[in-house]
Each structure stands twice: as C-alpha cells, then as structure tokens.
Structure 1
Amino acid sequence: MILSRRTLLAGLAASGASIPAFAQSAPEPQLVPIELVEDTLALPSAVTLGHKHGDVIMIEYFDYNCPWCKKSAAELPQLLKAEPDLTYVLVNFAVLGIPSVTATKAALAYLQVHGPDAYLPLHLALFKLKGAVDGARVMKEAERLGGDPKRLEEAGNSERTTQWMKDTLKLGDSLGFTATPSFLVATESYVGGMTLAQKREAIARARG
C-alpha cells in the first residue's frame, strides 16, 4: 500500500492512500548501505524466523493493516519450508494510521513478555482477522494465545515500546520505505508487495 505519510507516534499517524492492484512484476531492487541492514538487524523489536544463521537474510517491514502484508504473512510458512537456509526477519512498521500504532504497541508488548519464539503464532493470527486491526484486537488474540493482560498492558504502555517504534520509523525513513510491505534481501531493498515466487527469485539473486 502506498503511503501518504506525516510524522507518526505521540498521537500523529500516517494516512493510507488507495490500494493499488497487486504488482505483476517484483519491485525494482535498490542497493542500500550495509550499515542500514545491520541497524535493522540490531533493532530489539525485530523478530528472527527460520535459520538462525542463514546464507541469506530477508527482512520484511510490515503493517498489520496492510493488505499485501496479509498476503505475505499467509505465504510465510510456505516460504520458510521452501527455503530452509533462509533467515527471515519481521519488523513492525506502523505507518497506516492510529489503529496500526495501537496494534503495534500491543504486538510489541507480546514480544517483550513472551519472547520472539512465541511471536509467529500471534503474527499469523492477526493477519487472519478481517477488518481493521487495532490494539484491542491484538490484545484479544494475545490473551487467546496465553498472554497475561496486565503484563501486556504494562509493556505496551512502557517508554521502551514507544522508543522501539520511534527507532523503527526513523530507520524505515532512512531506507526510503514509502510502502508496506518493504523488504531487504541481503543489501538490496524492494519497496512494495512481492509474490512468493518473486521473493524466492530475490533470494536466489542474493545467493548469486
């Protein structure tokens, strides 16, 4: 989804533009500084899936209210199965309005309380929801998965969570990510939705 973005957080949020048709061709890869990839991997809010030390690292910046991120999430288990040597990293990038901001706060609270190994079931569950996803809906799903409401609320309202979100937004801006989802594959960025086949092509490209 293409963004029309204003400054986010502290009550300010971006507004999403109209949804384009899903791209038939993959976004054009752009070379990015290795330092920005390393900074992304160092984000405490980043969730690592798949191979812990894969031969290729693919990073997805996503928003829980992005329709193409929903498609990406639905195909994620298949991608991880097809690419056992891939390290896949999820980065919450709340840019599509206030519901996304509150959803990300709750999701990051779950990450802090339950750890990265427990995050994928929540991630997939949230993308199966119909309609707008906000903090209340994330909390409901988190509790269904065994989350403690009091601990989740405390973590979500913490300064640490706010700082995690600010750091991610700053880094996403530095990478020039103007759409969700956006991807980093090795040291190349792809801004916009990618099919499963297009992702695998990008991974193969990174392997040379």
Structure 2
Amino acid sequence: MILSRRVLLAGLALSGTKAPAFAQSAPEPQMIPVELIDNALNLPSIVRIGHPHGDVIMVEYFDYNCPWCKRSAQSLPDLLKAEPELSYMLVNFAVLSPQSVAATRAALAYLQLYGPERYLPLHLALFALRGTVDGERALAEAEKLGGDRTRMTEIANSDKTTGWMKDAFATGSDLGLVATPSFLIGTEAYVGGMSLEQKREAIARARG
C-alpha cells in the first residue's frame, strides 16, 4: 500500500465530494482576479507543457478518477498540436475519492523525481486505465516509465507532497473551482468539462 491510514486520512481532509460536470454546452466563463491566477501559476506542483512562453496560458485542474478529465487527457495531444503557441499547465486536484488522493500522491512523487519533462506520458497513461485509479495502479504505471517504486513511495508519503496537495486545494477553493475538470484560460475560469472545440473557442476568446 502506498498510504498508511494516518496519511490517507490527512489526504482525505483535502478532498471534497464534488461530482464532475457533464454538459452539452461549454461552461460559462467567469472572470478571475489576476492575483488568484498568479497564485495558481506559482504552485510548486504545477506541470508546464506546451509552449514555454505561449501567447495564452491554460491551466487544467483535474482528478485521475474524473470521466471528463479522461476525455480532456485523450484530446490533449491534439490540442497541443493544433495550438502550438499555447502554454498548457496541469494541476493535480484530488477531490473525488480516497483513491484519487493516493493516485495524486504517486503522480506528484514521480514529478518530484523525474521532472515535468517526463510527466505527460504518465498523465496520459493513468487516464488510459480502465476503472478506478488508485495509488498502487499509479505506481505501477510510473514503474513502467522507469520510476523507482521505493523512492516514489517514500516521496508520495512525505510532508512535502502533502503540502503540495494542500496548496493546490487552497488555490482551487479560492478560484471557486467546485468540479473537475476546471480550466483557467487567460483571465477566465471554466468550471466543468469542455470538448476540444470548446477549448479552442475559449483560447481564441482569450487572444481577443
């Protein structure tokens, strides 16, 4: 097991019970104060992919057991290809279950050991799994990508990882993100699932 009971309960204190949003239309954009966006961009756990200095910054708050997050991950390579000037950032936001908390701890351990350059393959692999993603399954996928299970387990249960999760939860709460996935695109927040086309429309909106 990746988590002791004590550590698991500490993780659950971070999590809520919000269900993912399912909608035919895109969620309505909400203006966000710049300082709150800056707080999100300065999270130590944020994973930066896409253009390093893009003309639009898009941040996704996600949970590894969220069905709409899975759809978002499946379309992410196509989005990055279609939007080469986009800076895309991922924030682990484990709010759906104890299993999500454990999976996030494993993912953040992999991030700390191997850096953001190697994170995207793990991200896509976890969302390619069927069924519930927990700590053990996340560790197994990370091992397939060359991760050291012993080191990852140690780091997953560390105070540093707990702190990263608390920080992400705090910024998400400040931003009013009550469902996964949620997106920051430019200076606006979109709470709920978005199709590839809806994301591209929101990116174009941010470009003005």
User: Which TM-score tier does this pair reach, normalised by the shorter chain?
Assistant: over 0.9
Amino acid of the structure 2 residue aligned with 1:167:
D
Q: For residues 134 and 191 of structure 2, what CA distance do their matches in structure 1 show?
A: 24
Structure 1 residue 75: Cα displacement: 0.0
Q: For residues 11 and 181 of structure 1, what CA distance do their matches in structure 2 show?
A: 19
Matched with 2:177 is: 177
Query: What are the residue-to-residue correspondences of 1:82-161 with 2, within 5 Å?
Result: 82-161=82-161
Q: For residues 119 and 66 of structure 1, what CA distance do their matches in structure 2 show?
A: 19
Q: For residues 144 and 9 of structure 1, what CA distance do their matches in structure 2 show?
A: 28
Structure 1 residue 15: Cα displacement: 2.9
- Helix, strand or coil at the partner of 2:193: coil
- Helix, strand or coil at the partner of 1:26: coil
Q: For residues 158 and 120 of structure 2, what CA distance do their matches in structure 1 show?
A: 22
Matched with 2:205 is: 205
- Helix, strand or coil at the partner of 1:87: strand
Structure 1 residue 16: Cα displacement: 4.6
Amino acid of the structure 2 residue aligned with 1:131:
G
In the alignment of these two chains, the number of paired residues is 199
CA contact under 8 A between 1:16 and 1:97: conserved in structure 2? no
- Helix, strand or coil at the partner of 1:73: helix
Structure 1 residue 122: Cα displacement: 0.1
Structure 1 residue 78: Cα displacement: 0.1
Matched with 2:57 is: 57
Q: For residues 195 and 106 of structure 2, what CA distance do their matches in structure 1 show?
A: 28
Question: Which structure has more helix as a fraction of its residues?
Answer: 2
Q: CA RMSD for the aligned pairs?
A: 1.3
Amino acid of the structure 2 residue aligned with 1:198:
Q
Query: What are the residue-to-residue correspondences of 1:16-95 with 2, within 5 Å?
Result: 16-17=18-19, 22-95=22-95
CA contact under 8 A between 1:180 and 1:191: conserved in structure 2? yes
Q: For residues 196 and 9 of structure 1, what CA distance do their matches in structure 2 show?
A: 35
Structure 1 residue 10: Cα displacement: 4.0
Q: Give 5+ residue unaligned stretches, structure 2.
A: 1-8
The 1:50–1:171 alpha-carbon spacing in structure 2 relative to 1, beyond 3 Å, is same
Q: For residues 147 and 184 of structure 2, what CA distance do their matches in structure 1 show?
A: 31
Amino acid of the structure 2 residue aligned with 1:166:
K
The 1:36–1:16 alpha-carbon spacing in structure 2 relative to 1, beyond 3 Å, is closer
Query: What are the residue-to-residue correspondences of 1:189-204 with 2, within 5 Å?
Result: 189-204=189-204
Q: Give 5+ residue unaligned stretches, structure 1.
A: 1-7
Q: Which protein has greater RCO, CA pairs closer than 8 Å, 6+ apart?
A: 2
Structure 1 residue 110: Cα displacement: 0.2
CA contact under 8 A between 1:61 and 1:180: conserved in structure 2? yes
TM-score in terms of structure 1 length: 0.93
Amino acid of the structure 2 residue aligned with 1:127:
F
Amino acid of the structure 1 residue aligned with 2:201:
E
